[in-house]
Structure 1
Amino acid sequence: MDQPTVADRVEVLERTVESLEQLPSRVDALTDRMGSVEVRLGSVEDRLGSLELQVLQFREEVRTEFSATRKEMRELNEETRTHMRALFEEAISRIAGIREHNGRKRKRKATKH
């Protein structure tokens, strides 16, 4: 097997050194990008915290509104029952009046004969 010549070995070394010379600028570029990512991540964390707070506030508002709605429904239900009871009693009273009136008519007819 042929051994590489000194010129070939020097050329390989030169390419290696050129690649290594680019490393500091590449590391600097990566460092800058990481800094940018950290800033953006901080912004995302802030927004997430704000969103969590909004969700908690929304849940509290919904809980309060549901409680108010349930209370209002109970009150309306009781009001409806009271009204229904009054209508029922009125209907019973009318039925009794009709029966009483019809009973008098029958007695009058029976006494006329």
Structure 2
Amino acid sequence: RNAHAPDPRQANAGYVRFDHATSQQVFWDAGAGTDLAECCFAPKSANAAEGEGYLMGVATRQNEGGRGDLVILDAQHLEDGPVAVVKLPVRAVGQVHGWWVPEAQLPVA
């Protein structure tokens, strides 16, 4: 029902949540001088309702020499801004492709 993607109005400067049932959009702007990579969604729990979880993406701070941040947002409350920002000491690769699985589903080494 919900989709999360960079907002085309701002190139790579924000994320938007689009509700396919209501056509409602909520936009979070990362601010000037910031480029955002594709985000990943992590549910809050194994039995979380649809859309209940976190968006995580790499923010490249162009005005800080390209240094990266890991930005974490509540997917249901993008308008509140990040719930956490992990300041990375180096430039990070912008495209992080992946998904989250419960620990119990990971193969045992």
Q: TM-score, normalised by structure 1?
A: 0.14
Query: Which protein is richer in strand relative to its size?
Result: 2
More contact order relative to length (CA 8 Å, sep ≥ 6): 2
Q: TM-score, normalised by structure 2?
A: 0.14
Q: Which has the larger radius of gyration?
A: 1
